[in-house]
Amino acid sequence: MTKSKGFTLIELLIFVIILAIIISILRTAISFALKYAPVTHNQTVATAAADGCMGYLLGQRNLNGYNFNSQTCPGATDYTTVPSFCTNITPSNFTTTIKISCATVSGFTGTQAFKKIEVTTASGSTKTVLTQLIADY
């Protein structure tokens, strides 16, 4: 008697069952990823815009005449004017706000003033807040 080549019916059924399980797992993972893809995209865009604005503000603080440097601490009002650079790099459906305020550092006894920069970029329920504490030198 010669052996026949090929798969038995049981082997084919096991293969189909395993394939169905793998497809259902992949379908669940892909639908979850697609559901949250816009949120991830908005978070990435918001973070990039806030980071660009923060970099601009940190770079500008050393220029003479820039309002951020002329702010006196303590007791000065918050600086909230959004520079045009930050407005230009923010996509149309996002808003960027900044707040530069005086800050105190626990345990610091010198005469150095500190400033706290907060850059917030938001769109709908997505919001990114970057905070930087710098010495006013």
Q: What share of the chain is helix, strand, coil (3-state, %, to 5)?
A: 45, 20, 35
Asked if residue 1 belongs to a domain, the reply is: no
Q: Using CA atoms, how far apart are residues 132 and 95, in angstroms rounded to an integer?
A: 19
Quote the percentage of the chain above a pLDDT of 70: 75
Asked if residue 26 belongs to a domain, the reply is: yes
Q: How many domains does the chain have?
A: 1
Instruction: Write the pLDDT tens digit of every residue in 54-87.
Output: 888 777 766 655 555 455 554 556 677 777 888 8
Query: Which amino acid makes up residue 23?
Result: I
φ, ψ dihedrals at 21, nearest 5°: -65, -45
Asked if residue 2 belongs to a domain, the reply is: no
Could you tell me the pLDDT band of residue 22, with boundaries at 50, 70 and 90?
A: very high
Instruction: Write the pLDDT tens digit of every residue in 92-104.
Output: 788 888 887 777 6
Residue 93 DSSP class: T
Q: Which domain holds residue 79?
A: 9-135
